Structure 1
Amino acid sequence: MRGSVILVVVFALLSALYFSMFPGIQAEMDVIEEAFPAYMFDLFQIEELHTIEGFIAAEIYSFFWVLLVAIYFAYVGAGLISSDVRSRKMDLTLSNPVSRESVVLQKVAALWVPLIALNVGVPIIVYVGALVIGESFDPVALAMVHLLSIPYLLVCAGIGVVLSVVVDHPRTARAVALTLVAVLWLVDGVSRVDPDYERIGALTPSRYYDQTAILVHEEYALGDAGILLAAFLALLAVAVFVFTRRDI
């Protein structure tokens, strides 16, 4: 809960900053777009910067949401099991009449706290911020940006959970999880820039969540969200399988 509140406050401050900037630089957006190299637009999936949808998609969602929030979920997921194993709390938990499967599933279920807090608080902040400066978002598109991000964030959390049951030391598990998510995001971005590596990007979770397409073009890739949900369930199954068979 504490981490969720902090993240919502951070996004509120970021939103206030970017919304205050947009009216002043909107007319100069063509010059700004020409100043950036073309690969930057592919790397961060930037389009239509002169519109409020394209601007917020680029400035808030393309980096802070897709990368930093994903890292947060991977970090939290990586500590769910390993921290209790390290502190010996898991010994006490498993001494009760509970199954190991239920322990993992209930730990993962707790992730709905930050998922709900962020995906309810942030869109409200973004929607109200746009109204304050005389702009507006399509509420359906804004809601879909967050709804379709849930499978993506769950996959990042799933990566952390798998590492949490494999690695005993929580600090190591968290470091590997956040590094892996960051590397996967970077690989996806590079694969968009270089066609020779485009196929590699298909192995990264961020390839299946395009916030710019949702906000700017109102394209809702439900099939991609289904792929991410399947990947999350597979990661969860692996975590349960490993944890039920390891010695603690």
Structure 2
Amino acid sequence: MLEITTFETERRLRGSLLLSAALIALIALTVGLFPSIQEAGVDFDAYLESLPDEVSRAFVGNVTTLTTIEGYLVSQLYQFGWVLLLAIYYAYAAASTIAGEVERGTADVTLSLPITRTRFVVGKFLALFPNVVLVNAVTFVAVYVSVVFVGETIDTIDLFVVHAYSIVYLLACAGIGLLASAAFDSIRRAQTVAIGGVFGMFLLDTLTFDTDYDWLGDLAFSRYFDPGAILVDGDVSWNDFALLLAAVVVLVIVAAELFERRDV
């Protein structure tokens, strides 16, 4: 299992570095615009209040002001970039892990070795963990340095917690991709299902929040990761964290069991 994990981790290293570089550029641009936005004199909080609840929930989260660096980062970076885009990216990446091997015919070669299908699935999934950690470690430093560079201050602990918490959230979304990858032989089909699953959860959370159907949003992983609560209010829900961690474990177990039972 560790051999598979090591091989896959090394294979994904270049992609992790390219993703990190792209995020660093995005962070530098986003934070670099903050001083000019402050000086513009535009009442962005009034604009925020005028947005429909669904739009505000989707793109701004639960923050109530954009005039602080914390609220600005949540609205312009974390709510859309982490909660949605990176979640889709890792679900997409995980969807190719098993289905890719099956589609290319290399799964038979690997499984001919003294290795169980469960170890194969778990090894593939564990290879995503260093990727997620690396990207969050690099972006944590990039955000902090950028904030200091523009003359602002931010709570380092809260910023660290946002990135550490997001690791479990992103792995949960990757678990959806892993499950799709274990269920389908086609990479494209698995990736489509994974992207649809994560985006569907995001929409479910957004459209049902604070409505009569709010309970449906509890099925969405994004309901349990609130960057605004952590970064702006310093509030961490460890119950939500535990639920996401449990979701990761369950999805990996189900994916492994599904792959054990299917014909390859």
User: TM-score range with shorter-chain normalisation?
Assistant: over 0.9
* 2:217 counterpart letter in structure 1: G
Q: Is 1:54 equivalent to 2:66 in the alignment?
A: no
Q: What are the equivalent positions in structure 2 for 1:127-142 lying under 5 Å apart?
A: 127-142=144-159
Report the Cα distance in structure 1 between the residues aligned to 2:20 and 2:236, rounded to whole angstroms.
Answer: 25
Structure 2: where are the runs of 5+ without partners? 1-12
Q: What are the equivalent positions in structure 2 for 1:114-153 lying under 5 Å apart?
A: 114-153=131-170
Q: Is 1:226 equivalent to 2:238 in the alignment?
A: no
Report the Cα distance in structure 2 between the residues aligned to 1:28 and 1:212, rounded to whole angstroms.
Answer: 24
**Is the contact made by 1:163 and 1:173 (CA closer than 8 Å) also made in structure 2?**
yes
Report the Cα distance in structure 2 between the residues aligned to 1:53 and 1:152, rounded to whole angstroms.
Answer: 20
Report the Cα distance in structure 1 between the residues aligned to 2:38 and 2:131, rounded to whole angstroms.
Answer: 33
Q: Secondary structure at the match of 1:65?
A: helix
Report the Cα distance in structure 2 between the residues aligned to 1:213 and 1:27, rounded to whole angstroms.
Answer: 26
Report the Cα distance in structure 1 between the residues aligned to 2:27 and 2:204, rounded to whole angstroms.
Answer: 27
* 1:41 counterpart letter in structure 2: S
Report the Cα distance in structure 1 between the residues aligned to 2:42 and 2:159, rounded to whole angstroms.
Answer: 25
Moved more, 208-217 or 150-159: 150-159
* 2:57 counterpart letter in structure 1: D
Report the Cα distance in structure 2 between the residues aligned to 1:225 and 1:111, rounded to whole angstroms.
Answer: 19
Structure 1 residues 96 and 60: alpha-carbon distance in aligned structure 2, compared to 1, 3 A threshold: same
1:16 to 28, 31, 48: 28
TM-score of the two chains, using structure 2 as the length reference: 0.90
**Is the contact made by 1:156 and 1:181 (CA closer than 8 Å) also made in structure 2?**
yes
Q: In percent, how many aligned pairs have the same letter?
A: 38
Report the Cα distance in structure 2 between the residues aligned to 1:93 and 1:41, rounded to whole angstroms.
Answer: 47
How far does residue 30 in structure 1 lie from its aligned partner after superposition?
Answer: 5.8
* 1:151 counterpart letter in structure 2: V
Moved more, 209-218 or 10-19: 10-19
Moved more, 32-41 or 85-94: 32-41
Runs in 1 of length 4+ with deviation above 3 angstroms? 27-30
Q: Secondary structure at the match of 2:33?
A: helix
1:42 to 57, 78, 84: 57
2:98 to 66, 77, 81: 81
Report the Cα distance in structure 1 between the residues aligned to 2:107 and 2:24, rounded to whole angstroms.
Answer: 37
Alpha-carbon RMSD across the aligned residues, in angstroms, is: 1.4
Per the alignment, residue 25 of structure 1 pairs with 37
TM-score of the two chains, using structure 1 as the length reference: 0.95
After superposition, what is the alpha-carbon deviation per residue over 1:80-115, rounded to whole angstroms, capped at 9, x for unaligned?
100000111000001111111110111011002211
Q: Give aligned pairs, total.
A: 247
Q: What are the equivalent positions in structure 2 for 1:92-171 lying under 5 Å apart?
A: 92-171=109-188
**Is the contact made by 2:45 and 2:67 (CA closer than 8 Å) also made in structure 1?**
no
Moved more, 41-50 or 78-87: 41-50
After superposition, what is the alpha-carbon deviation per residue over 1:200-224, rounded to whole angstroms, capped at 9, x for unaligned?
1111000000000000000011110
Report the Cα distance in structure 2 between the residues aligned to 1:102 and 1:42, rounded to whole angstroms.
Answer: 39
Q: Secondary structure at the match of 2:114?
A: coil
Q: Is 1:213 equivalent to 2:229 in the alignment?
A: yes
How far does residue 33 in structure 1 lie from its aligned partner after superposition?
Answer: 2.7
How far does residue 9 in structure 1 lie from its aligned partner after superposition?
Answer: 1.3
Structure 1 residues 221 and 28: alpha-carbon distance in aligned structure 2, compared to 1, 3 A threshold: farther
How far does residue 28 in structure 1 lie from its aligned partner after superposition?
Answer: 4.6
Structure 1 residues 138 and 80: alpha-carbon distance in aligned structure 2, compared to 1, 3 A threshold: same
Report the Cα distance in structure 2 between the residues aligned to 1:177 and 1:148, rounded to whole angstroms.
Answer: 21
**Is the contact made by 1:30 and 1:50 (CA closer than 8 Å) also made in structure 2?**
no
How far does residue 187 in structure 1 lie from its aligned partner after superposition?
Answer: 1.3
Q: Is 1:5 equivalent to 2:17 in the alignment?
A: yes
